[in-house]
A and B are shown apart, each in its own frame.
Chain A
Amino acid sequence: MPTTICFINQKGGCGKSSSCFHLGGHFARSGRSVLLVDADPQGSLSQGFFGSAAIEGLPAGESLAAVFDDAPPLTTLVVSTPFPGLSMVRANAALGRHNCPEPETFGLKQFALAALLEEATGYDLVLIDCPPNLYQCSWNALLAADFVVVPVPPEDFATQGLRAIHQAVEHARHLNPRLALLGHLVIRADSRLLVHRSYEQHLRRLYGEAVLSTVIPEASAYKLALSTRTPVSFHSPSSRAARLVRDLGDELLRRAAPPAERRKIA
């Protein structure tokens, strides 16, 4: 079975989709079989690979929205990206209809994504990109995942959602006991800003080990790669940006490995 990680934060613009986009690229380029699941009705991750026009016109039956309607087999929803080893389940606005508040009142709908991903046995990694709220899509992701990564830019609006996220993970564990917090990812950091350094310091002091040691800075390499619809590890493999994504991928796998295997990887 694959390792399934969901990227979640209540706030928009935190770098959830970017993390999935570039990490997915890195893992695939390093020889792993990766499935990206776009669980955000905004469809940013999908548009990152396939362009806005194609995703806007995507029939609901071919997108993640279908799992809430008809429960088709996973294979009918997965498409290849132009990058070997990197596949994807796409989403667009059609998913919005299903992203309801109070997801806990929807019975079996809560487990639609978990049931879908039970069929994802052929992948090494599944990365789920969540919308910036804790409605049905994010809740489904929490119930389907093994691990949670919380991307958090070191500034006020981004950190405001943390308390709700921690509570959501804690609550989701009642329905998905294997769920674990892999860590907070300090992202979009600008080391020239004292405010950013200060927020990062506070985060590490408050949450200690639960903050990943890799920091992803705000860098034009990520944005440039994204505009060419190419993860940075394929776009400019020897750049510092690509190296940091690789460090991040290594750190996530190290933390996700069961204790016995941790030494082997390290």
Chain B
Amino acid sequence: MSTRQALDRLTANLEESMGVRGGGDARPVLAPVPAKRDAGRRPLRNVGRLTIDQVVPDPDQPRVEFSEDALERLALSIREKGQLSPIRVRWSDRLEKWLIISGERRWRAARRASLPDIECYFHEAELTPSEILEQQLIENLLREDLRPVEEARAFSSLMGINGWTGKEVADALRVHPSRVSRALALLRLPGPVQERVNAGEIPARAAYEISKLPDPAAQAALAERAAAEGLSHQDAARAVRQRRGKPKPPARMTRNAFTGPGAWKVVVTGPVKGGYPEIEQALLLALNEVRERIRTGRKPD
């Protein structure tokens, strides 16, 4: 029998090897059968543990104060229930340690709870100083427990690092621009007043009103009163208005603008309220003056 004849008679064998099965229903499992719970899962590759002394706080980080009480409570919780979420860290070539981007409080509490190591999310990509500050701020702003002046300083450093306006800081951090401008106003207060705001003796909103006073001595005096009497936001605003006196009513005057070709425009102003006859007079005088200057070949200012 030739090879061809043999192969022709073996067609069924060839096809069986290649996957053809008779019978239909029977379907043995030949390959892994995935579990439904695994659909859509992915491991995070940069999460792990670090011995706790490999981690240090970021010397440039905005948070500076921690309440002893809160730390003790967090330490207790970590000792009993473990660390519920990893802290974010990045490697510092300068310090040869992992710096905390966010989670300094959890780290302090874990140390207090004498844990040997801490769960971390390792931020591998290079971060600019602004990105680090942004991440720290976003984390803290979301929890709303950053002290008012700390928050203001952080906004101010972001503006310094990036040359941003207050509005740009607000956009980057997704907060309302008024929150940034109110915070920045606190930095205009004398140092001791800022400390009392941070300590919670003067509400941040009242302090914002106080910052509207132009004179630091007046700011300090009102701050003293605010702390002693517990002035509310409205009280402080009223006191500021009284100190500054009533604003002068706007002077009555004339101001009219006329659009010319392109972006040119002509503005006529006068010290008293006037009508179109006076405006016409002023324009005619000006026109004559311009023509005179053209005639004498004088250059415009």
Contacts and interface: CB of A to CB of B under 8 A. Distances in A.
Interface string A140-163: 000000000000000010011011
Contacts of A105: 35
Contacts of B4: 194
A175 B39 contact: yes
**A interface, by DSSP: helix, strand, loop or mixed?**
helix
B229 interface: no
Given A195-B7, A206-B18, A102 B32 contact: yes
A206 B13 CA distance: 13
A162 B30 CA distance: 10
B20 interface: yes
B32 A168 contact: yes
Nearest to A173: B34
A198 B7 contact: yes
Contacts of A202: 11, 14-15, 18
A172 B31 CA distance: 9
Interface in B10-61: 11, 13-15, 17-21, 29-36, 38-46, 48
Contact of A198 (B14, B31, B41): B14
A164 B18 contact: no
Q: Chain B interface mostly helix, strand, loop or mixed?
A: loop
A175 B38 CA distance: 7
Nearest to B19: A163
Contacts of B44: 115
Nearest to A67: B45
A166 B32 contact: no
B301 interface: no
Given A71-B43, A112-B43, A163-B19, A171 B34 contact: yes
Given A160-B17, A164-B31, A167-B29, A174 B39 contact: yes
Contact of B19 (A156, A166, A172): A166
A133 to B, nearest CB: 11
A207 B15 CA distance: 11
A96 interface: no
B124 interface: yes
Interface residues of A, number: 42
Given A194-B3, A194-B7, A198-B7, A104 B19 contact: no
Nearest to B44: A115
A217 interface: no
B43 A108 contact: yes
Contacts of A71: 43, 45-46, 48
A92 interface: no
Contact of B17 (A134, A139, A156, A175): A156
Contacts of B19: 159, 162-163, 166, 206
B18 A107 contact: no
A111 B37 CA distance: 13
A103 B11 contact: no
Contacts of A102: 32
A115 B38 contact: no
Contacts of B20: 206
Contacts of B34: 104, 110, 171-172, 174-175
A108 B15 contact: no
A114 interface: yes
A182 B29 CA distance: 23
Contacts of A253: none
Contact of A164 (B11, B30, B36, B42): B30
A156 B17 CA distance: 6
Interface in A58-104: 70-71, 73, 102-104
A251 to B, nearest CB: 21
A123 interface: no
Given A156-B17, A159-B18, A166-B19, A111 B32 contact: no
A234 interface: no
A181 interface: no
B191 to A, nearest CB: 45
Interface string A160-199: 1011111110111011000000000000000000110011
A115 B33 contact: no
Most buried by A among B3, B34, B48: B34
Contact of B41 (A111, A159, A194): A111
